[in-house]
Chains A and B, each alone.
Chain A
Amino acid sequence: SQTIHQWPATLVQPVGSPLSLECTVEGTSNPNLYWYRQAAGRGLQLLFYSVGIGQISSEVPQNLSASRPQDRQFILSSKKLLLSDSGFYLCAWSTGLSTGELFFGEGSRLTVL
């Protein structure tokens, strides 16, 4: 069966520090991968999605970036965090089919101080 792992679960970082959140999927190949951010009262915001290695689409211009160095690995990064980057970050995957179901990881809580 397929599983998705996301880490770290919790992160407290000072303003201006770098960020790296990692997500891996097991049990499937060539998944579509997604990074979402969930802020209180604002719902889920799609940040990045990827349909293959090295193929990243950005939805929201900001100081975050994403990379997909391997088929089942998706990384969310920042060179310098802002206070506004605080939030709950969720990685998700689906099959490449348009009818595919979306599955989420457990999330990473980021607090920028």
Chain B
Amino acid sequence: KQEVTQIPAALSVPEGENLVLNCSFTDSAIYNLQWFRQDPGKGLTSLLLIQSSQREQTSGRLNASLDKSSGRSTLYIAASQPGDSATYLCAVRRIRDDKIIFGKGTRLHILP
């Protein structure tokens, strides 16, 4: 059974700090891993998609890495801003049935 775990469940950091969000998954047979952002009461916004053959992807202040063999991904946010406050979710697309499995997310609060 594929499980996706995100630790911590919640995180508060002062504005300007760099931070890392973690995502781990039990089954390494995946097509890709995707990071999302969700604001309260809204849908999910795709941030980064990493294919299984890739090691990392970057978009602006965001950098996501993937270590498939150890079942881990990290989302690095540089120079955090209050507008980065949101819930961040990761999801893996597993090979055996092409299903997309989500973690429960990390609720991030950037303190002004």
Q: Which residues of A contact B (CB under 8 A)?
A: 6, 34, 41-44, 46, 49, 88, 90, 92, 94, 98-99, 101-107, 109
Contact A101 B34 (CB under 8 A): yes
Q: Which of B69-112 contact A (CB under 8 A)?
A: 89, 91, 93, 95, 98-100, 102-105
Partner of A101 from B49, B89, B98, B103 at Cβ < 8 Å: B49
A104-B93 in contact (CB<8A): no
Q: A98-B98, A99-B51, A101-B34 are in contact. Are A42 and B44 (CB under 8 A)?
A: no
Question: Chain B residues with Cβ under 8 A from A99's Cβ?
Answer: 31-32, 51
Known contacts A43-B102, A43-B103, A44-B89: does B43 contact A102 (CB below 8 Å)?
no
Could you tell me the distance in whole angstroms from the C-beta of B110 to the nearest C-beta in chain A? 22
Grouping DSSP codes into helix (H, G, I), strand (E, B) and loop, the A interface class, with mixed when no group exceeds half, is strand
Q: How far is the CB of B81 from chain A (nearest CB, A)?
A: 23
- Residue of B95, B100, B104, B105 near A102 (CB, 8 A) is B100
Q: Nearest-CB distance from A31 to chain B (Å)? A: 14
